[in-house]
Structure 1
């Protein structure tokens, strides 16, 4: 199949329709433009069903979201409660964990790769967990830095 720029496809679709109306066969149209017969067939079918409006180039939107805006709001409220609130150990949210919450709340399952897209849609981003022990005592750390660390630095000299 020939390579065309996205902007050229609308003109190609229109030309395919013109040639079909001039009694060309689909195979001949495909061969003339270096297209597949399936592409030509789909173009002509779209034209039959939608008319000239079906030939225009539009942004491909993909499948509609299976969660409504209200459900997404509810999901973010639930996620804000924390992972432990939903029965997970630790406060880290992962895509599979979030998918489990979506299934539990709405009965809808997403591929984990798509959970990130949903989170981006509601303004959440990937975060790296802080590399600090959860049980760390800030006062004990300050005392160690003030008292023990200088002694260790002196002995190293």
Structure 2
């Protein structure tokens, strides 16, 4: 049965990490003087994002995301990535927001294939899941969102605190949420339209 026949949203999901040391997009310096940027203290802070691009014919495309900030010094037993419980919560929240069945398309991350996650998928009648082929990030439109975020709100910025990094990422994601053409463009770039 197709997503259209189910009246379902097609939702692509992916995760990405952002650090306090952003990539430089462009630099300028006098000849023979290499530009350097000094970082103090917070270089180990990292933010992990999980994002969902949601598509349905006749509806405005949507971007749903969740941030997870990692401490500078990891605490023993603390997880540095999303767990299957986090993904379950995010899927249920997306279902509540979209108010329709979901056809979820995501990669083969080990957390996506745990027994706990498989049991959740089997028990949830409004959820259908498909896995992308291995090593095929070009088929996931959320990768386009991460690329746009890295090019605009993450590149060439000096983040002095973890809060600055989180603020920049949230600002960029909010702008993308309101820019439906960008979300649609990410799907078009995959060639899946």
TM-score calculated relative to the size of structure 1: 0.22
Higher relative contact order (CA 8 A, sep 6+): 2
Higher relative strand content: 2
TM-score calculated relative to the size of structure 2: 0.19
